[in-house]
Amino acid sequence: MNMRFWVFFMLVVLIVSCVQKQPVEEVKDPWLTAGTVFTYGVDFQGTTYDFIVTLNSLDPDVDYSWEMTDPVNISGRWVIARTALDSAYIQNNYYFPGTDTLDSATSGWLSRKTFSELKNNGKTMIGYSGSSDMYELVMQSKEVMKVMLDDVSVDLNVIRAETENGFVYYILDNEKYPVILHMNVEFEIKIKMIKSKQINE
């Protein structure tokens, strides 16, 4: 074999070796895509109903349609703007029929900044629309929550956190999409089941 062949051969080996060493980025919670449907059970001061959220898109903004079942019977469509999803400390828990865009608050999600501070520093701050008060939100534990996903019971990694005034949150351990799966504040909302896009098609 001549020198030219060996040079070519070693170059191919080097390229293949570099390609194989490239880390493959893991897609966390691959079921969490546009088309996924979350069904929550709500208990608002003794009145119970389902709150159904259908994700329309996740990037650059979180866009979802929502519905509250009987006896509330209202629906709408909300968009959480990228700026709010990235850095808002305020939660908006007041839903009204129709379409709305949240520019400085999130709803049903923590912002990425709030979640990052909570997970990495053990605490963050949180506030609520309609009030100027801010509360410290402190991480209590990392836990596993059993959830019905496409009619199968699965374990989802969550972070349990609690405010200084006793509000409790269970947040999906997902830095990009920190969805609230269970929240007990002035009312309680808890995930009942999730249907992925694949099942809904």
pLDDT at 130 (0 to 100): 87
- List all residues 6 or more positions away from 113 whose beta carbon is below 8 Å from its beta carbon: 86, 87, 88, 89
What are the residue ranges of helices labelled H in 66-154? 82-87, 112-121
d(CA 170, CA 18): 41
Q: What is the pLDDT of residues 161-186, one digit of tens each?
A: 999 999 999 999 999 999 999 999 98
Question: If you average pLDDT over every residue of the chain, what do you get?
Answer: 89
Whether residue 13 has pLDDT greater than 90:
no
Q: Model's pTM, two decimal places?
A: 0.84
pLDDT at 21 (0 to 100): 45
- List all residues 6 or more positions away from 158 whose beta carbon is below 8 Å from its beta carbon: 142, 143, 144, 145, 170, 171, 172, 173, 181, 182
Q: Where does the pLDDT of residue 1 fall: very low under 50, low under 70, confident under 90, or very high at 90 and above?
A: low
Cα–Cα–Cα angle for 97, 179, 74, nearest 5°? 15
Q: Identify the structural domains of the chain with CATH numbers, from first to last.
A: 31-200 (2.50.20)
**Residues, the chain, total?**
201
